Amino acid sequence: MKDDRFFIRSILEDLARIRKFIDGLNYAGFKKDNKTQYAVFKAFENIGEAVKNISADLRQRHKKVPWKEIAGLRDKLIHGYFGIEEKIIWTAAKKEAVVLKTLFLEIKKEEKWEIKN
């Protein structure tokens, strides 16, 4: 069985991928680039799936993380709520991903885990 460390590492890796995917793009460029949109979409989907696998114990210890909201974004994406606009994904990639990275790095530090990120 995979442990919380595995899922936190996976989340940090996907957050790093998102940064690479959008590096050098503005919103207009992102909106035209279907491959990048899809890659960012899938990375957020993966993050949401990883969050759903994190133990209740870890979630309880780290209440600053918006666990339900992260999982909720994943649900909106995976269940095909086609009303999701590029702007929402773009904003999540530009702003929320930075905040999430900070929060998950804090978990790594507080748990004293050695995880490459």
Consecutive H or E run containing 5? helix 4-22
* Cβ count within 10 A of residue 103: 17
Share of the chain above pLDDT 90, in %: 74
Write out the catalytic residue numbers. 74, 79
The amino acid at residue 116 is K
* 28 Cβ contact partners less than 8 Å away, ≥ 6 residues apart: none
pLDDT of residue 117: 57
What is the pLDDT at residue 114?
A: 84
Kindly tell me the burial class for residue 110, based on how many C-beta atoms sit within 10 Å of its own C-beta (0-12, 13-18, 19 or more): exposed
Question: pLDDT tens for residues 28-80?
Answer: 999 999 999 999 999 999 999 999 999 999 999 999 999 999 988 777 776 65
Whole-prediction pTM value?
Answer: 0.89
